[in-house]
Each structure stands twice: as C-alpha cells, then as structure tokens.
Amino acid sequence: MTGEKIFTKKDMEIILSKDEGLARYFAKIKAIIEEYMDMDEEFYTLVSLWIVGTYFHKQFPSYPYLFFNAMKGSGKTRILKIVASLSKNGKVVGSMTDAVLFRTAKQRTLCIDELEGINAKEKGSLRLLLNSAYKKGLGVERLTKRKTKDGEEQIIEEFEVYCPIAMANIRGMENVLADRCISIVLEKSSNNRIVKLMEDFGDNMEFKTTGGGLQRLTENIKDNSNIFGHVIQAWNSYSKNNKQNIVNSVNIVNKTDNTDNIDDFTILFQKIDNTNLSGRDLELFFPLFVLADMIGEDILDKTMKTAQKVVKLRKESDREENKDIRLIEFIAQSNYEGYIDLSRIAREFSEFYEEDVRYNTSNSISRALKRLKLIIDRRNTGSKRQARIDVLKAQKKLLMFKEPDEIDFLKSGIKETLKNE
C-alpha cells in the first residue's frame, strides 16, 4: 500500500458530492426501470445497482454479468436497451464473436441480445472469453500484421476484455458461464400501462440527464484509483482474523497508525458475513454490496436479501440439472457400508431419480465417484467391481449446494457438526 492513497468514505463523499450524489441517480434509474419494465420487485433495485456499478467496475477485481432469461415477448431486448442507455458507454449488440468482444470491450458496457447457441462447439472461443471477462487482469493476445518501411511484420497486440456485460437469451446458459452471472427470469407482462409504452430511450431526456449525470459524477475517478482496494483488503483481514475488531484489521492492512483515515466496516462486514455467501457467489455480489452501502442501509439490506434468493434459486437449479450433485445427494442419504457393488449403486441411483438405467452404468458411476473423490477403496471380486464409499464426505459436500435445513435426512446434531467443520 506504500505510496497509494487510501480512499475513505469521506473521500468518496467529496468525489460524489456533485449534483446531490450517488443515491439521487440510483433512485432515478430505479424509477425509469419501474416505468418501462414489469419485473419482480427486488430486481428493480438489483438491476439499478448493477447499472450504477458500471461507472465503478474498474475499481473492483471482478464484476458480475447480468443475465436475463425469458421467452419471446417478455421484454429482454427492452431491458437490455434500458441498461445500455443508462450504463457507462453502454451498447446493445445483436450478435457477438470473440473478435468483436476483445476489440470493443475496453471502456464499454456490452449488452448482448439473442445470445443463443452459446453452448455450441463453434462458439468455444467466445465462451472462453466470456468465462474470463468478468475478472480484471485476464487479457487476450493476438498476432497483428503491421506495415513498416521494411515491409510487414507481426506483432503481439494485447486486449483487455474486463468489462460489464449484460446478456439475454431464451435457452439459458451452460453452467460455467451461468456461474459468473446474476440471473433474472423475465415473464411476459400483462400490464397495459407498461407494454403500451414506446421505446424512446435514445431521445428521452430523463435517460440522457441520468446517464450524463452519472458520467459527470464519476469522471474524476481514474481507472487505477483503487478506490475500493482497502475495503477488499479489510474484508480479507476481517475473515482471516476470525472476525475480530475490524479497525485493528484495517490498521494492519494499511500499515498506518492514523485511525482518522480508517473506515469502520464492522457493520457492513457482519451483514455480508451473515448472508453466508462464499466463493464465487461472494465475489460476484461483493461489489454490489459495497455500492449499496454507499447509497443507503435500506438498499444494502434489500440487495443482500435478493442476493441470497438468487443464489438459492441457482443452487436449486444446479442440483436439478447437475448429475454430480444428484449423485452426491444420493450417496449422502444412503446407508452404504463396507464394499458395495458399483452396478448396485448405478441401479439404485437410477431408481431413486427414476432415470433410464442405461444412462447410469457401473462405469459412469465409477468415474463420477472417482471425480468426486468419494471412493475410499476399491476391489474386484471375479466379475464384480466393488468400492467402499465415503458417505460422510458426501454429506459434507452436499452442504456446498444445499442449506442445512433443506437436508431432512440428517439429524440436527450431524448438521451442526458438518456445518461448522
């Protein structure tokens, strides 16, 4: 941290004091979305906050994608146009290739409509870029021909792909890319007041003054200002130091005895901790939590409740779609002891989920159990392949995907033990 300016909340108040501050523009954005879109109530706040964050995203090491999943006529193109009109340098694109992404990403908010077929083999390069563009520091290198006085030469050109991205399609996302998204399902609206409104976003003065005001409000914040760097370091220190006095933690991080320049993030961090988000879920929502805290306590509380709901719905979807998770759940509630025939596990797994047994062979189950590291030992007895299964480990793994209260086959004492390990 030597030589770097430590931005405090007081510094941010000065930076954002023009035109009545950030909360005013957040409220204006939310009012615009409420006027033109029919969504679940909590998503008005979440989408508005994400739009505000596009003006700050370079200050965070990662920034979540926004994904709208909807049937035809449900307003997904409309919401992308609204997002693009209000975000920092927003642009709607109807199709996308990897070359378009890495050549246009810098300093832009990209809104990709009709992103169908993203799982197709020919979209592999684009999918790889999208899997990394939510995180700072993952650039793309390409060979480029350049004319010189001696002729043509090839040089390596580096492109920055980190940028805010909103996407929409009908068919949904594959799991790896969906993991980087905050997903919102849109339903077709029957609200005539909304569906009869024409899309005048380009000429609407409310759009222009809101987007322009946010641009002016944040124009003095440089990409390398690292405004929230100390908040992230303070959070890490808070977590590593067993959630003790955060002032001391921040003091250690900043290597300074001047507590006048140290923010007390105790309340914010305690609230974040109480969401029980971790890993990528926490990484995605952390920027939105920090921004919500700047806008108001009520916005922070709403955002945290929505984050928990979004993550829970995604985990439920993952459990239903992901065979590995279903296998973990099946093993977790089994009473397997000693060596068990793999063919028996395959058969009982199929029967449990009422699947066609042909798709759950002893070979596929063996590979899955090995991949999940749930096999303690194995042996062959003539024509039978057998394995000792780690049921307790499966129960621990299941808590990564399911809340303890949802696991009704575990006794309460075991739940607490597993949760606290």
What pLDDT, on the 0 to 100 scale, is given for residue 65? 93
- Cα distances (Å, whole numbers) of residue 413 to 93, 166, 249, 296, 390: 53, 43, 34, 39, 19
Kindly report, residue by residue over 14-36, the tens digit of the pLDDT.
555 544 678 889 999 999 999 99
CATH 3.40.50 describes domain 322-420? no
Please compute the mean of the pLDDT values over residues 93-115 and round it to a whole number: 76
147-152: average pLDDT? 73
Per-residue model confidence (pLDDT) at position 11: 60
Query: pLDDT value at position 151?
Result: 72
* Among the four given CATH numbers 3.40.50.300, 3.40.718.10, 3.65.10.10, 3.40.1280.10, the one describing domain 17-217: 3.40.50.300
pLDDT of residue 226: 80
Mean of the per-residue pLDDT values of the chain: 80
Domains of the chain, by residue range, sit at: 17-217, 222-273, 322-420
Predicted local confidence at residue 203, as pLDDT: 86
Which range has the worst mean pLDDT, 58-67, 99-108, 125-134, 410-419? 410-419
Q: Mean pLDDT lowest for which of 82-86, 166-170, 207-211, 307-311?
A: 166-170
Q: What is the pLDDT of residues 334-385, one digit of tens each?
A: 989 999 999 999 999 988 877 655 557 888 889 889 988 999 999 998 888 9
> What integer is the mean pLDDT of 101-110?
75
Which pLDDT score, from 0 to 100, does residue 282 have? 95
Residue 125 has pLDDT above 80, yes or no: no
